Structure 1
Amino acid sequence: MVQRRDAVGVREVARHAGVSIGTVSNVLNRPEKVGKMTRRIVQNAMNELGFVPLRAAGQLRGGSSGLIGVIVPDVGNMYWASVLRGIEATIDAQGLTMIVASTRQSKFRQREQLRSMQSQGVDGLIVAPIAEQKDEWSYFQRKTKFGLILVSAMADKDIASVRTNDLRGAQIGIQHLLDMGHRHIAFINGPHFVPWCLERYQGAYKAIVDSGYENEISFSEVLVEDLTMDEGAQAASRVFDEGIATAIMCANDMLALGVIKAAKEKGIAIPESVSVVGYDDSEFSALVDPPLTTIRQPSFQLGVEAAQLLLQEREQGDIPSVVFEPELIDRLSTSAVG
């Protein structure tokens, strides 16, 4: 795929396809007037150039669409739902409208959602990137009214960001298990190209190395494609079948919920037989049976901060980075080794 730093226009598509600008316009607006072969040639040229049709062009000519794009991994995850509420509360007060999309840990979906946001003419973008696609999100940083904010990712120095110290969060979660005497620990995690999954693995491993018991500890990482309850249950079943781990830490609370579900189905008692630690402190964490020990992130406040950074006026070269510190919430899903 050819990537372009600037938005590709109809003229470039026409030149690349070897057709007139009018033909490209017809493909976009009156495709029934264009032959099938010509349509295919023009559409292939659009794909190769990364062309994005501006459906909101009328709004853009007026200087502003009043739309703020937000891309998160999963709108169904209660943690991200809380982040979205924080963003919405902030932009609503400014008379703006939020457009939301999910990536589901897919690089392809992230690319498509970025193009969709550009097509809709958003005035700014807040994105929790599951992979770096700088050439594609740089458009929002350079060409939109409010620019770009990255969430839950360590950004380059030239991109504003809001995140939690995920390395520290995973570190204190594993340290909690080590302090309770656990030496056989599994870590259920998502793909390492997802920034916070990589950071949480690094934090977990750092806790093992810094403990001084590294040679006495069995530590294994179990990877899943998506951070959902079902994938957490499947991963936990594999861990349980091995019969080694006395404790499991998860990269988020949805995975931990899946671990609890799998344990109940197999008749494995939590925390008597296996301790479980989640990450996020989602709203359901205190309500599950047993209540989940987890790492708290200030989800709502994170969303508020991201929206405020997006909307505030900044001096040239002022690239803020806000980092929240995580907190261990000790509940009944963990106990000391008996």
Structure 2
Amino acid sequence: MSATLPTVSREVRLTSAPEGLPTRDHFTLVGTPLPEPGAGQVLVRNRHFLVFPGLRTLIGGEVDGVPLPALRPGDTLFGPAVGEIVAAPAGSALRVGDVVSHLRGWREYALVPAAECAPVDGGTLPDPVAYLSQGSTAYGALTRLAEVRAGDVVFVTGAAGAVGSLAGPIARLLGAGRVIGSTGSPWKAERLVSELGYDAVVLRGAGSVADQLAEAAPDGIDVLVDTVAGEQLVAALGAARQGARFALVGALSGQMSARRAGGSAPVEIDAFRVVVKGVSLRGYSGADHPDVEQEWTGRFGAWLRSGAIGFPHTRIAGMDRAPQALEELIGGRHFGAVVVEL
């Protein structure tokens, strides 16, 4: 291993199981000896990693059906990251200096199986950080489940989050005629309209969601991209046009509830309306659509380079601020994706 590398790497660990929502006090920054890669492994110096809401579920322990393991006290957090390979064994297909993405964020240096690294192609996306975008979820939901058509009225719940902040612009590029979002903050609502091109915003906490949606879409909606569930899913069903297509990609209303453990979001819907309106209601999982990621990356890169779309995100500087960034994400204090920059 190169003598220029440090001997210690810092990482964020869960120190105690929270009762309710996790805060920065439930985590600690720990120094560990820098590992050396063995056969089939590489050592990556992480440059950026994503802070994502799913950590709430993993920490809460309700992971039935979730393709990721629960996080227990003493475990190091993990998640999507982009970094540079700084050590690799002889004969490795990956070389020192290669930039890769992987799932071992929340640490300065990550020992990663080479098979779990994806090379980052600078010719596809202009900024490596864009590989941390969750736009593939929005794109997959809009193209594989909702199948947006020209002139559609699209409603995106949680529109200021990592998925929602891209879902609206993607829907527009796919031909939607009107795009409506929801959020809980007036300042986010203003940015959704002024920066991301949303036509109208339903403001949670400013009166009935159903009434606001009826005003924003008096003739109803054709497509829902739902990251929230709860009251907003009920309101969307009330506004559904005949044959509306609903793509459910998240359930933040339950996931971020202090009264739950992150793995449930019960909601009462009118099944009669689903039937008579012919509404399709489907959950989106990227694992069910393995072709989406490559297709999305190609289109995302072209749209970024043409200026047709951006990557809304907030950068948080420094590993020591990562636990606070997660607390702030859970509290709804950021716009777009939240990325820690090392």
Q: What TM bracket, shorter-length normalisation? A: 0.3 to 0.5
Structure 1-normalised TM-score? 0.37
Q: Which has the larger radius of gyration?
A: 1
